[in-house]
Amino acid sequence: MLRIEVAHTFDVSVTEAFAYITDVKNWPEYWPDFIRIENSAAAGWSNPGDRATVVIKLLNRERALNLEYGIERVSKGRMRHVRKPAARVTRCSP
């Protein structure tokens, strides 16, 4: 299985970062090579169990990432966002 890992550090609070990431209106800027959110009227990303499908360009093809929102506390001041099942993306904030 191919694993691609990218990390960025931003000088913002956890609260600001969380608010930005969970607002689907920011996703065109947030997701690399963003194409669209499928069924955007029904897509949500602020409560556990919310689901969304993001279509991005990956390896010169459109790929649909089926995401389900969940949060796991990793340690004080850090959150890990796990998106599953079709894609697993981990985002950590300082």
Q: Is the pTM of this model over 0.85?
A: no
List pLDDT tens digits, range 63-94: 998 888 876 544 444 444 444 444 455 554 44
pLDDT score recorded for residue 94: 45
Q: How far apart are CA 30 and CA 35, in angstroms?
A: 12
| pLDDT bucket at 33, cuts 50 / 70 / 90 | very high
List pLDDT tens digits, range 35-64: 999 988 888 888 888 888 999 998 889 999
Containing H/E element for 58?
strand 51-58
Q: Which residue's entry shows tokens 């970062």?
A: 17
Is 37:44 a contact under the CB 8 Å cutoff? no
Domain ranges of the chain: 14-92
Six token digits for residue 68: 């389900």
Is 21:29 a contact under the CB 8 Å cutoff? no
**How confident is the model over 3-25, as a mean pLDDT?**
84
